[in-house]
Amino acid sequence: FFQYCLSGHPTLPCNVLKFKSTTIMLDCGLDMTSTLNFLPMPLVQSPRLSKLPGWVLKDGSTFLDKELKECTGHVFVDSVPEFCLPETELLDLSTVDVILISNYHCMMALPYITEYTGFTGTVYATEPTVQIGRLLMEELVNSIERVPKAQSASMWKNKEVQRLLPAPLKDAVEVSMWRKCYTMPEVNAALSKIQLVGYSQKIELFGAVQVTPLSSGYALGSSNWIIQSHYEKVSYVSGSSLLTTHPQPMDQASLKNSDVLILTGLTQIPTANPDGMVGEFCSNLAMTVRNGGNVLVPCYPSGVIYDLLECLYQYIDSAGLSNVPFYFISPVANSSLEFSQIFAEWLCHNKQTKVYLPEPPFPHAELIQTNKLKHYPSIHGDFSNDFKQPCVVFTGHPSLRFGDVVHFMELWGKSSLNTVIFTEPDFSYLDALAPYQPLAMKCVYCPIDTRLNFIQVSKLLKEVQPLHVVCPEQYTQPPPTQSHRTDLMIDCQPPPMSYRRAEVLTLPYKRRYEKIEIMPELADSLVPLEIKPGISLATVSAVLHTKDNKHVLQLPPKPPQPPASKKRKRVSDDVPECKPLKPLLSGSIPVDQFVQTLEKHGFSDVKVEDTAKGHIVLLQEAETLIQIEEDSTHIICDNDEPLRVKLRDLVLKFLQKF
Amino acid sequence: LVCLCFHPGAGQDVGRSCILVSIAGKNVMLDCGMHMGYNDDRRFPDFSYITQNGRLTDFLDCVIISHFHLDHCGALPYFSEMVGYDGPIYMTHPTKAICPILLEDYRKITVDKKGETNFFTSQMIKDCMKKVVAVHLHQTVQVDEELEIKAYYAGHVLGAAMFQIKVGCESVVYTGDYNMTPDRHLGAAWIDKCRPDLLISESTYATTIRDSKRCRERDFLKKVHETVERGGKVLIPVFALGRAQELCILLETFWERMNLKAPIYFSTGLTEKANHYYKLFITWTNQKIRKTFVQRNMFEFKHIKAFDRAFADNPGPMVVFATPGMLHAGQSLQIFRKWAGNEKNMVIMPGYCVQGTVGHKILSGQRKLEMEGRQILEVKMQVEYMSFSAHADAKGIMQLIRQAEPRNVLLVHGEAKKMEFLKQKIEQEFHVSCYMPANGETTTIFTNPSIPVDISLGLLKRETAIGLLPDAKKPKLMHGTLIMKDNSFRLVSPEQALKELGLAEHQLRFTCRVHIQDPRKEHETVLRVYNHLKGVLKDYSVQHLPDGSITVESILIQATAHSEDQGTKVLLVSWTYQDEELGSYLTSLLKKGLPQSTA
């Protein structure tokens, strides 16, 4: 039982579990923070960005000035942005049997794994996870492919060169492994390998292991996974939430009795309260618009945006914002809004009830109907005609490196009337803003991360009581910037086992039993004996069949009839064939009764002698002697088989067989 | 180990479904339908069949509803609120959403229009629905510690499901109504190879093997088109949800393609709501609709408009979808009465009609109908029947049996003669027992499940290691001890069993004196014995130890000189009871003497 850790990012995990004879990949997260090292990709030629000076080394050499540009003291790579892939060398990924996906944010590396490693297995995910995951990938591919960039920088990745670069480029890990974005055909191929599953569906893997997705409460279709055999249970908790937002609540009860609980995907902002952040978001938005400024919300096309739109739906009338247009710009904006309405079964109770009426579960349907919310595939086309200011724009990508958001940053960045409000917690907002500095526009940071915080984790662990907790090393110490906050780490007994990127962990549990089935015919033939009150025993001699990791015990076949022809037998024909399988014996032999029995069976000259440990029973005429002790009986006789067999059977009568 | 099936409702009667299954001590009621053909007590199943004394809640572990058609759920409020049942009721989300609406609709017709009393109320429907637990497809729902149920997609209507009911190793699959071919709006039923002990299948179309769907659709469109062309009116009695949407999609696309202008109406009330359900539960429709719904939602109709009563008297051609589907009450019956006298008009029955309904009468050729108040209605309009109701036909039923591989099949919801034919076919092709109980009859099916026990890993590993030996032809016997304690079964090695019970092993040992005539010295005799045994016992480990003794496996052989006769040697052969066979064999082998001097 091993766990291979392929990603160092605690909220974008990628682990491989060797459980019994199966190899299971848990999530397939793609670390996109690497893109922060690159220059933004403007949709329209940006004179500012194109005029940035090339970076010059301290010694004055300029050989990198085509690849690296300097902007307000930071150095950026001028190239198509690249992503940091999960580790592919730690184990042969073609041996992975299945991939379990916990939510749509944790599947973004899937095409790299399924299309480039020789993977031939199956991916399991819920329907909303797949549909929304597809939208996220589509948006990603679209926003990168629509800005063709000829240049692909690689010189800076040279280890010798990288050493000379300023931080954070100098410290970037595994830059040689960074890859460009995949293409739509690769996305489609990857998604075609997914098999859809529902919550609490038991999926058998090779007869040896059963996996089950459970609602995790974090996003539409998000799941935790139970990986279990009959005797071991591993819970994989990834991206869970106890807050009541739109998804179905988290299923905690099913996590009980775990031998090992792998805990990933906790909140990235443990100090911020999501409700408070939403309030701040609304008030900052209102204030900016009232002052005639525009609001930019860099976001993903699904997830928190549904909750924000719902809050705004309740808020705009009371805040006097009814006439302010809301724009949602993404190549998948329409799809995302439509899809959100059809997953009734994956929603929280309140939203389900609405569907029964039947009404759309999310109020953004009404915002669209009343023209308060408009969605466009991009800034080009209809949007440029409809566009009215002041307004609120929701668009991606939250890294501010590609997508329509780049255009709005360039457009609105110079005016202090405007505000950019960061709600997605995946990227440091200061790093995201770095290539846009100096900025006049206001920046507000309202990260909304509904995933578990450490207080909730310790409550959860107390509740479900796993024997062992396994988590990324980041969770076993306070955050580096707040080293005094010892409350911001996992606290449990025994202390959690931690892992880091490219590490292999041996999981602590010991199996003692396995399931086996006794066929009805065999069961009928068993003779149980009550040995102690409430405990019965039966000796079982049977044939073991093992197929597809399932074990079955059957009645032994009847011995074949000896062949009718009476050929002369050779001696060796008589050699006993099966290994003799005699039961173990237990009990002791009461000498007096034994002697009586002997006499009953015609032995007239029985004589008993006492010894230090027991007795010796002598049959004088037969020159036979039987030593009887507490735990042993020894029959010593001449080679008189009938006599020996007779004595044997008489002794056996007094003993229990096992 | 017995699976009891009992039908207060269904079984050889298409009227209503209600089946009771007892499996390994658990009682589950499958569907709770009412009979559309009756207006008296007979419309509801007789629940006193289930238990005469005692509450239903105590007797039943759960109730499962397969889909929202009233012949499968119509008696539910009566059952839960009037007879009294407080346990869980399981159905899928769409069924949970739509079921109360149809029940309320039905209640209105019966109570408000026909003025019947002693019927369930709106409040009862609401209270009944509070007891409903919605299930996902393929979700394993643990009803209690032993009983689990799982839903599979059944096609038929939005949200229809087949259910697997499982207790330990024993299981039953109940299909409800299902459809094995995808249609214009739903997908095909699917189940995995779950090998239930019993498959309870509907058999409405037990003998029919329907022609291709395309032909039927073309036929339907042709008839509608011709009638409209000659200025006639077409009435299509439907239930608000189900076939209605499929036929709407069909007509909508046809009207679009042919650029037709005659109005199409859908009787009001449920219609718009119904289409909303399809939009919100689009994940339950077929793949094509699901894939394209963002661009074009198939349930937003351009040509189909809401119907108003006054339209029925409008001159000129029109097509009207009206509820209910069997012409037994409501708007469809009203329109039918208005239009029946004109031979230019046409009524198309797209589904099965229960005996006793107007629909059934006109389909069986009756042209003079006695209506309320002894009034005789003469039917001159054309009457067409087209099987669009999405039940599995004989081919589909066989296909499902092939998928699930049940050990027994039980046919319900069909007519006796047709079922008999299908029963023979099933028994011939699959060699499984097939039952078709009558209404109220009990069928007992004996199952013989294997018993799961826990085997200690040590024992299993020891055995599988032996199993890996090259000589795999001979079955290896495994030997263990089954410990039965507090309902737990564990199979361990005999040694472990002794240890766990705190018992000591009792060693039984035999030592036999075998006399051999051999004048040679002792160690030479031993060597001869050794060579002899080695020659004979090729598969055994025979060893000559430095102390002069021989071992065959764990059997010890020592030689001593005879005290009196120097020419005789005494071999002491000693073994434990566990080596009994080999020990016994060795003594008899040695008794035969040694072969004359081996080279």
Report pLDDT for B457: 81
Average pLDDT over residues A632-657: 86
Q: B25 phi and psi, to 5 degrees?
A: 85, 0
Please answer yes or no on whether A199 and B474 come within 8 Å at the CB atom: no
Residue A50 has pLDDT above 90, yes or no: no
Q: CA of B230: how far to CAs of B219, B258, B320, B338, B519, in Å?
A: 17, 16, 16, 18, 124
Quote the distance between the C-alpha of residue B275 and its chain's center.
Answer: 30
pLDDT tens string A120-158 = 999 999 999 999 999 999 999 999 999 887 677 888 998
Beta strands, E only, B351-476: 368-370, 376-378, 382-385, 408-412, 433-435, 442-446, 451-456
Q: Give the other-Cβ count within 10 Å of B252's Cβ.
A: 18
Report pLDDT for A453: 95
CA-nearest residue to B97 within chain A is: A356
CA-nearest residue to B458 within chain A is: A512
List the single best residue of B482, B490, B564 to mutate versus A (max A Cβ within 10 A): B482
pLDDT tens string A367-403 = 999 999 999 999 999 999 999 999 999 999 999 999 9
Q: Which of A58-67, A381-390, B200-209 has the lowest mean pLDDT?
A: B200-209
Average pLDDT over residues B217-238: 92
Report pLDDT for A359: 92
Q: SS3 of B595, please? A: coil
Residues 64-123 of A with CB under 8 A from B: none
Q: A200 phi and psi, to 5 degrees?
A: 60, 20
Residue A502 has pLDDT above 50, yes or no: yes
Residue A567 has pLDDT above 50, yes or no: no
d(CA B491, CA A552): 12
A381/B contact by beta carbon, under 8 A: no
Contact B250, B185 (CB under 8 A): no
Residues 310-349 of A with CB under 8 A from B: 334-335, 338-339, 341-345
Report pLDDT for B100: 92
Residue B538 has pLDDT above 60, yes or no: yes
Q: Which of B333, B266, B261 is nearest to B304 (CA)?
A: B266
Report domain extents, chain A: 1-266+450-504, 272-443, 583-655
- Amino acid letter, residue A341: Q
List the single best residue of A134, A220, A516, A545 to mutate versus B (max B Cβ within 10 A): A516
Q: Give the other-Cβ count within 10 Å of B28's Cβ.
A: 23
Structure tokens belonging to residue B243: 């076939």
Structure-derived torsion over alpha carbons of residues A418, A422, A423, A429, reported in degrees to the nearest 10: 180
CATH 2.60.120.10 fits B1-207+388-444, yes or no: no
Residue B472 has pLDDT above 50, yes or no: no
- Burial label, A202 (beta-carbon count in 10 A; 0-12, 13-18, 19+): middle
Q: Which residues of A touch B582 (CB under 8 A)?
A: 576, 580
d(CA B113, CA B329): 10
Average pLDDT over residues A228-237: 92
Please answer yes or no on whether B478 and A542 come within 8 Å at the CB atom: yes
Report pLDDT for A565: 47
Q: Residue A17 — pLDDT band, cuts 50, 70, 90?
A: very high
Average pLDDT over residues A439-449: 96
How close A43 gets to chain B, by Cα (Å)? 26
Report pLDDT for B469: 47
Q: Which of A510-514, A642-646, B112-116, B579-583 has the lowest mean pLDDT?
A: B112-116
Contact B351, B389 (CB under 8 A): yes
Region of residue B327 (left: phi > 0; alpha: psi -120 to 50; beta: else): left
Residue A300: half-sphere exposure toward Cβ, Cα within 13 Å: 23
**Which residues lie closer than 8 Å to A609 by C-beta, 6 or more apart?**
A615, A616, A618
pLDDT tens string B157-203 = 899 999 999 998 899 999 999 988 888 888 999 999 999 999 999 88
d(CA A403, CA A301): 11
Q: Which residues of A572-589 are buried (b: 16+ CB within 10 A; e: fewer)?
A: eeeeeeeebbbbbbbebb
Q: Residue A569 — pLDDT band, cuts 50, 70, 90?
A: very low
**Which residues lie closer than 8 Å to A604 by C-beta, 6 or more apart?**
none
Q: Looking at this predicted complex, what is its ipTM?
A: 0.83
Report pLDDT for B209: 62
Q: Which residues of B192-203 are buried (b: 16+ CB within 10 A; e: fewer)?
A: eebebbbbbbbb
Q: Which of B16, B20, B7 is nearest to B38 (CA)?
A: B16
pTM summary value: 0.85
CATH class of the A583-655 domain in this structure: alpha beta
Report pLDDT for A468: 93
Report pLDDT for B8: 62
d(CA A25, CA A14): 7
Please answer yes or no on whether B481 and A540 come within 8 Å at the CB atom: yes
Please answer yes or no on whether B507 and A360 come within 8 Å at the CB atom: no
CATH 3.30.310.50 fits B507-590, yes or no: yes
Return the DSSP state at A200.
T
How close A238 gets to chain B, by Cα (Å)? 20
A540/B contact by beta carbon, under 8 A: yes
Report pLDDT for A570: 45
Q: What secondary structure, in 3-state letters, does B196-244 show?
A: CCEEEEECCECCCCCCCHHHHHHHHHHHHHHHHHCCCEEEEECCCCCHH
CATH 3.60.15.10 fits A1-266+450-504, yes or no: yes
Structure tokens belonging to residue B96: 């949970």
d(CA A617, CA A603): 11
d(CA A267, CA A244): 15
Q: What average pLDDT is seen over chain B?
A: 85
Residues of chain B with CATH 3.60.15.10: 1-207+388-444
Percentage of residues in chain A having pLDDT higher than 70: 96
In the sheet that holds A194-197, the strands lie side by side as A194-197, A122-126, A98-100, A22-26, A15-19, A2-5, A504-506
d(CA B456, CA A74): 63
pLDDT tens string B19-67 = 889 998 899 999 998 887 677 777 888 888 777 777 889 999 999 999 9
**Which residues lie closer than 8 Å to B405 by C-beta, 6 or more apart?**
B193, B194, B195
d(CA B132, CA B360): 33
Q: Which of A38-42, A116-120, A565-569, B381-385 has the lowest mean pLDDT?
A: A565-569
Residue B470 has pLDDT above 50, yes or no: no
d(CA A206, CA A410): 54
Report pLDDT for A580: 47
CATH class of the B211-383 domain in this structure: alpha beta
Please answer yes or no on whether A127 and B283 come within 8 Å at the CB atom: yes
Q: Which residues of A touch B536 (CB under 8 A)?
A: 571-572, 575
Q: Determine how β-strand B477-485 pairs with β-strand A535-547.
A: antiparallel
A272-443: what fold?
Rossmann fold (3.40.50)
Residue A32 has pLDDT above 50, yes or no: yes
Who has greater pLDDT, A21 or B226?
B226
pLDDT tens string A264-314 = 999 999 999 999 999 999 999 999 999 999 999 999 999 999 999 999 999
Report pLDDT for B465: 64
Q: What average pLDDT is seen over chain A?
A: 90
Residue B1 has pLDDT above 50, yes or no: no
Report pLDDT for A581: 64
